[in-house]
Amino acid sequence: MSFSNLQEINLEPNDQNLQEDYIKLLEEHFQSEVRENTLVKGTVIDINNDAVIVDVSFKSAGRIPISEFVITNQKDKIKIGDVIDVYVDKLEGRDGCIVLSRERAVKEKIWLYFENAHTNNETVDGIIIGRVKGGFAVDLGGLVSFLPGSQVDIRPIKDISALGGIIQSFKILKMDKTHGNIVVSRRAIMEESRKEARDDLISTIEEGMILEGVVKNITGYGAFVDLGPIDGLIHIRDLDWDRKFHPSEVLTVGQKIKVMVIKYNKETQRISLGLKQLTKNPWEEITKKYSVGSIHKGKITAITDYGAFVMLEPNVDGLVYHTELHWTARNVHPSKIVSVGQEVDVMVLDFDLSKHRISLSVKHCQKNAWEEFIEKHPQGSRLSVVVRNISDFGIFVSEADKINDELSLNLLIPIQEIDWSETLQEEILRKYSKGDIIECVIINADPQRERITGSIKRLSEDNLLGLAEEMMKKQSVEVIVTDVKRDGIEVEIKNGITAYIDRYELSNSRNEQKPQNFTIGQKVNVKVVKYDSDKRVFNLSIKELHIENEQKMKEDYQNAQNNNFGSALSDALKLNDK
């Protein structure tokens, strides 16, 4: 009952005070039930062209503009006697009447509904109505919410037009009543659904199971496949029986494929998939056809830094390691020896069925270049060569008439085979430059180890050889001590030519075999025992000289004794004759 209805109640005059108290109590009661900024129930008591009059059991009825019922699509539905929700803006307006709002009541009721859904983690229905900065606008049936671009789907969607204009379920992520903002997510709904499906799939998944999926992403090591509730990985080795350098050679993003579960880790829930396992392994019959030592024709399909791949037949490739491309291809890039598409003869060197690997050789289908060189240039041959490279241990050279051939065979002239002199190595190498044309002689050849050794110094006679022959003819040679060491002494023979005398060669007496008995600059007579022409080393001995001297003294003494005995005997015979 409204406060205006109270005026119609007939009260006795002598009850005037009671009337005033009763009205006061009623006003306080109504005011305690109806408060500003609250949602209350009201009864429609009148409708005209401009407004709808609503009684909310307050001291006055409220007047709501008819336009608010137009906005909420209720103008033609409202009638006198209907009980509706209204929002109390003010308890007393300009005309003293309560100020009510149907529009705000509808919004408030809707807001309470969504608040309750948010609190209880329930889904709400909405329609995507347009694009806004950072996302999309969604009509939730009276309230417009914001759908961030990242919350549209589990994966990026290029064309969202197909999702617009249809009723869909959303989860409320955040609500701000002060600003009237609601943030919703379509992705959360899909993730929950995906999780349920994922649990169902995981509970039944087994190795060997065939599944359908869509290629989600391609990397250098494989491809990720969307199986619906979960993703799986096809490693590059499980894409195809033929070797591939990149998964994009087999798959494209968005492609629908069937795959086999080849491994499943329950702890990490990681699924390893295989594509090639759905087809017959062509390598099962290969061992019979491509036995070790057999020769076949193939085509170069790819070239890398470490060699070239040769296709023997579709889905069957073998690797020719770079050292097997040519007999002399140690430091030459494979691309300078063969080219993609080139047909070549190859020999099977090794076969690994478990890893699907065939090791091939091109050079073993050709004549051995090292053996061919040795046949043409046997040991002792003189050869004109060009300097290819200079290292600390010698000079690498090749035949001078193949100066522009990168595959020409290389020979090594060791540093000790460059010059007879005892010059420092740095000074010896400084005489030569890359590209120089020089002469050498072949001194050693080993085709199995692919090594051929040349010499420059042996083109001329060793200057120490004549000196050695001369000194070995002498009974003794005078030398000068240049250094005293713990185990022997170093001496100069002539013009800077030195030799080392071991302590055991210092004397024929063990007690006198002491290097400290000698001093630097001391002149000593020695015996030249031997000269090693390969090492260009003189073997000297003081002990041998002492032994020879002692032997000579014994022989001289023996001869003298024999001579004396002969003279005495001759004199005796002469006396006897007399």
Phi/psi at 146 (5° precision): -110, 130
Which is higher by pLDDT, 177 or 171? Answer: 171
Give 509-565 pLDDT, tens digit per residue: 888 899 999 999 999 999 998 888 777 788 999 988 888 888 888 877 787 777 665
- The reply to whether 573 falls in a domain is no
Given the structure tokens 């040679």, which residue do they identify? 477
SS3 483: strand
Mean pLDDT of 95-101: 76
Q: What is the CA radius of gyration of the chain?
A: 55
Burial of 27 by CB count in 10 Å (0-12 exposed, 13-18 middle, 19+ buried)? middle
Q: Is the pLDDT of residue 14 over 60?
A: no
> What is the C-alpha to C-alpha distance for residues 145 and 126, in angstroms, rounded to an integer?
9
Q: Would you tell me how many other CB atoms lie within 10 Å of the CB of residue 74?
A: 15
Provide CB contacts within 8 A for 532, sequence distance 6+: 539
Q: Are residues 543 and 468 in the same domain?
A: yes
The H or E element containing residue 32 is: helix 16-33
Give 396-410 pLDDT, tens digit per residue: 998 888 777 777 888
Residue percentage of the chain with pLDDT more than 70: 86
Of 79, 108, 137, which residue sits at a domain end?
A: 108
**Beta-strand runs (E) in 372-507:** 382-391, 394-399, 411-414, 437-446, 451-455, 477-484, 488-494, 497-502
Mean pLDDT of 333-360: 88
Q: Are residues 98 and 127 in the same domain?
A: no
Which is higher by pLDDT, 186 or 110? Answer: 186
> What is the C-alpha to C-alpha distance for residues 393 and 428, in angstroms, rounded to an integer?
11
- The reply to whether 64 falls in a domain is yes
- The reply to whether 21 falls in a domain is yes
Q: How many domains are there within the chain?
A: 6
Burial of 100 by CB count in 10 Å (0-12 exposed, 13-18 middle, 19+ buried)? buried
Q: Is the pLDDT of residue 11 over 60?
A: no
Predicted local distance difference test score (pLDDT) of residue 225: 86
Give 470-519 pLDDT, tens digit per residue: 888 888 889 999 999 999 999 998 877 889 999 999 988 888 899 999 99
pLDDT band at 7 (very low <50, low <70, confident <90, very high): very low
Predicted local distance difference test score (pLDDT) of residue 516: 93
- The reply to whether 231 falls in a domain is yes
Is 150 in contact with 134 (CB distance < 8 Å)?
Answer: no
Q: Is the pLDDT of residue 5 over 70?
A: no
Return mean pLDDT, the chain.
81
Mean pLDDT of 353-378: 87
Predicted local distance difference test score (pLDDT) of residue 345: 94
- Pair type for strands 523-532 and 316-321: unpaired
Alpha carbons within 13 angstroms on the beta-carbon side of residue 24 total: 6
> What is the C-alpha to C-alpha distance for residues 50 and 64, in angstroms, rounded to an integer?
9
State the CATH number of the domain containing residue 140.
2.40.50.140
Q: Which amino acid is at 547?
A: I
- The reply to whether 561 falls in a domain is no
Q: Would you tell me how many other CB atoms lie within 10 Å of the CB of residue 409?
A: 19
Q: Are residues 13 and 104 in the same domain?
A: yes
Most confident of 41-50, 125-134, 265-274: 125-134
Give 224-247 pLDDT, tens digit per residue: 888 776 778 888 888 887 667 788
Q: Is the pLDDT of residue 29 over 80?
A: no
pLDDT band at 23 (very low <50, low <70, confident <90, very high): low
Q: Are residues 491 and 519 in the same domain?
A: yes
Q: Are residues 467 and 537 in the same domain?
A: yes
Predicted local distance difference test score (pLDDT) of residue 4: 35
Q: Are residues 383 and 421 in the same domain?
A: yes
- Pair type for strands 231-235 and 270-274: parallel
Predicted local distance difference test score (pLDDT) of residue 117: 85
Predicted local distance difference test score (pLDDT) of residue 143: 78
Given the structure tokens 């249809």, which residue do they identify? 166
Is 501 in contact with 542 (CB distance < 8 Å)?
Answer: yes
Q: Are residues 29 and 94 in the same domain?
A: yes
Interior angle at CA 484, CA 479 and CA 489, nearest 5? 50
> What is the C-alpha to C-alpha distance for residues 126 and 163, in angstroms, rounded to an integer?
11
- The reply to whether 347 falls in a domain is yes
> What is the C-alpha to C-alpha distance for residues 254 and 336, in angstroms, rounded to an integer?
40
Predicted local distance difference test score (pLDDT) of residue 557: 77
Q: Are residues 447 and 469 in the same domain?
A: no
Which is higher by pLDDT, 59 or 351? Answer: 351
Cα–Cα distance list, 173 to 142, 187, 194, 257, 307 (Å): 18, 11, 18, 36, 57
Q: Which domain holds residue 337?
A: 291-365
Which is higher by pLDDT, 551 or 320? Answer: 320
Nearest to 361 by CA among 404, 408, 403, 318: 318
Cα–Cα distance list, 521 to 478, 480, 487, 491 (Å): 12, 6, 18, 9
Of 278, 299, 328, which residue sits at a domain end?
A: 278
Nearest to 387 by CA among 426, 440, 446: 440
Given the structure tokens 């007939």, which residue do they identify? 10
Is 260 in contact with 210 (CB distance < 8 Å)?
Answer: yes
Cα–Cα distance list, 439 to 62, 398, 497 (Å): 122, 11, 27
Mean pLDDT of 420-428: 72
Predicted local distance difference test score (pLDDT) of residue 320: 93
Q: Is the pLDDT of residue 103 over 80?
A: no
Helices (H), 433-541: 463-473
Q: Are residues 306 and 345 in the same domain?
A: yes
Predicted local distance difference test score (pLDDT) of residue 517: 92
Give 115-153 pLDDT, tens digit per residue: 888 888 888 888 888 888 888 888 887 678 898 988 888
Predicted local distance difference test score (pLDDT) of residue 355: 75
Q: Are residues 474 and 446 in the same domain?
A: no
SS3 204: helix
Of 335, 365, 395, which residue sits at a domain end?
A: 365
Handedness of CA 80, 83, 88, 90 (dihedral sign): positive
Predicted local distance difference test score (pLDDT) of residue 349: 92
Handedness of CA 405, 410, 416, 419 (dihedral sign): negative
Q: What is the 3-state secondary structure (H, E, C) of 119-188?
A: HCCCEEEEEEEEEECCEEEEECCCCEEEEEHHHCCCCCCCCCHHHCCCEEEEEEEEEECCCCEEEEECHH
Residue percentage of the chain with pLDDT more than 90: 18
Given the structure tokens 């001590």, which residue do they identify? 481
Q: Are residues 24 and 80 in the same domain?
A: yes
Mean pLDDT of 12-29: 51
> What is the C-alpha to C-alpha distance for residues 531 and 551, in angstroms, rounded to an integer?
24
pLDDT band at 74 (very low <50, low <70, confident <90, very high): low
Predicted local distance difference test score (pLDDT) of residue 58: 78
Q: Is the pLDDT of residue 289 over 90?
A: no
- The reply to whether 115 falls in a domain is no
Nearest to 84 by CA among 67, 114, 62: 62
Q: Which amino acid is at 273?
A: L
Mean pLDDT of 155-174: 81
Cα–Cα distance list, 308 to 212, 290, 489 (Å): 36, 18, 59
Q: Are residues 335 and 312 in the same domain?
A: yes
Mean pLDDT of 164-179: 85
SS3 516: helix
pTM of the model: 0.42
Q: Is the pLDDT of residue 24 over 60?
A: no
Helices (H), 180-339: 187-204, 286-289
Which is higher by pLDDT, 76 or 378? Answer: 378
pLDDT band at 395 (very low <50, low <70, confident <90, very high): very high
Predicted local distance difference test score (pLDDT) of residue 101: 74
Predicted local distance difference test score (pLDDT) of residue 574: 54
- The reply to whether 572 falls in a domain is no
